[in-house]
Structure 1
């Protein structure tokens, strides 16, 4: 099988400690991403090239566009409404607020306009994390005992969800019912345990393939519906964290990266680690609905 390859280039030289959670706001034509450890929400307007960030008072891992406007911030101990035009932030509900060792991690909106979101230990404590679904304003725990939940994404027809516990190296596929709730047990779908890099964030394209960041390997791989690698994006930095399709035609792939855990020597070798990267693959992404809270 031939594997297509692409080279990612620097898009925004932001040098986040832990860049994560890239999310396209189609209504406002803005890309958002987070520096979880830096407590920042970054944004880019691809049409103008303008970019900046908001400084927050807590760790946030995703800014999800809301159907009624504004964003829902997925934070370390709370979910909050955020108005990008004014910068105002208002707590909406608690999120593992009674557990001081955890913070939020990977999250993505499903085909029903509901949000799957996860938690993990701040120091990646084993089995401290959980996976949740926020459906019409109600938060339900789907799974616990996870260490670093990642790679949350969904098939176009809403029949399957994918996720991984990064430390296992295995991407799992979970069958969903007609309302988007998991059925039975998730099944192993793609195994990276013995390969270079650890599975991190993921996004689906319009052709039914999954794009998966391989943390530590400097790559994002494209996996076909059988979990086989059919494409590969090479980055000049080693810790890509999550890809997302953005732009008016959803044909531009952006990739967040990190410099978390780097020594001074590693930083000297990868000075732009933590920045936002971009690649034009010619492949269209899958449009995601805005988040519905009611």
Structure 2
């Protein structure tokens, strides 16, 4: 296993102090990093060329997004929408496939064919201590167009770590609650996953698997929320590298930059006591150089967008 880099190898590139930075995606066309603050709730676009970061305030919590030619499809607590960043319009596409009083969208992205998948986590508008743990589990869902969703996996507690192998024939999906990352055989033409088995078991860690990304060699990079590190696994599920982060709460890595070799990592502050937020590196955006290039972010299939 490769020795982790020293802290000087990791740079803070944006002092964002996000409550819940998540779902970074590299836009090749604009050479920018699009990311969300779930609890902001905002969609952000960071430009590393000049250090600027513009954002669009959302009407409800935003779990994830997928890039389009004119902006992004955004998964809000209230449903799925298309945000056109050029004319600043938000167009409704589908209602949320869950009780939005109890759940929000969490990690999600497109497969290699542009199908959008999104999972959920339990975040009730009001405390619900009487709700048993099994009732908090929901499946990963696939958007079918025309407002329809279908179930793609068995239910999990907190959906995270969604990624596909370079050839698109293996799907990875994690449950933060159980600290397990699974792998599936994936049928690219049908968009279906089968034969679930454990890929990585993080029950040894003080943290739990959060967002993830696949590099061009098929290695799986996983943020360990609460554990303060990024782990890199080879396609056989062997840990190849551990990278200590300046934040205890990294949320998701992605490879970007002109050569797709800059690893950007979002982070969160919401787990900190309020008096500490803004006084630690948590919530900022970090970057370091990867030993391997990444893959272009899969764009949303625009045939599923509402007619203009």
TM-score when normalising by structure 2? 0.88
- Say yes or no: does 1:235 pair with 2:245: yes
Distance 1:178 1:52 in 2: 35
Q: What CA deviation, in whole Å up to 9, does each residue of 1:96-149 have, x standing for no partner?
A: 264421110001211111111111211597334331112566532113532101
Unaligned runs of 5+ in 2: 304-308
How many residues get paired?
Answer: 292
Deviation string 1:213-264 (CA, Å, 9 cap, x unpaired) is: 0011110111111212212222111000100111221111111101112125
**Which structure 2 residues correspond to residues 69-218 of structure 1 after superposition, within 5 A?**
69-96=70-97, 98-123=99-124, 126=133, 127-135=136-144, 138-179=148-189, 181-218=191-228
Q: CA deviation at 1:45?
A: 1.2
TM-fit CA distance, 1:76: 1.2
Give the alignment partner of residue 23 of structure 1, picking from 11, 21, 25.
25
CA–CA distance in structure 2, aligned partners of residues 293 and 141 of structure 1: 21
Q: What is the CA–CA distance in structure 2 between the aligned matches of 1:38 and 1:13, rounded to whole Å? A: 15
- 8 A contact 2:70–2:86 mirrored in 1: no
Following superposition, the deviation at residue 203 of structure 1 comes to 0.2
Cα deviation per residue 1:128-173 (whole Å; 9 max; x = unaligned)? 4331112566532113532101000000111100011111111000
Pick from 235, 255, 258 the counterpart of residue 265 of structure 2. Answer: 255
Aligned partner of residue 145 in structure 1, secondary structure: coil
Where do 4+ consecutive residues of structure 1 move more than 6 Å? Answer: none
Q: Structure 1: state its 5+ residue gaps.
A: none
Aligned to 1:61: 63
Change (3 A) 1:264 1:73: closer
CA 62–178 in structure 1, closer or farther in 2 if over 3 Å, else same: closer
Normalising by structure 1, report the TM-score: 0.92
Q: Secondary structure at the match of 1:129?
A: coil
Would the aligned equivalents of 1:245 and 1:252 in 2 still touch at CA under 8 Å? yes
Greater mean deviation of Cα atoms: 74-83 or 40-49: 40-49
**Cα distance per residue 1:46-96 (max 9 Å; x no partner):** 223221222221111223112x53211111121111111232211111122
1:128 to 1:170, Cα distance in 2 relative to 1, 3 A: closer
- Taking only aligned residues, the RMSD between alpha carbons, in angstroms, comes to 2.1
For the 8 Å contact 2:233–2:241, the answer to whether it is kept is yes
Q: Distance in 2 between matches of 1:271 and 1:222?
A: 25
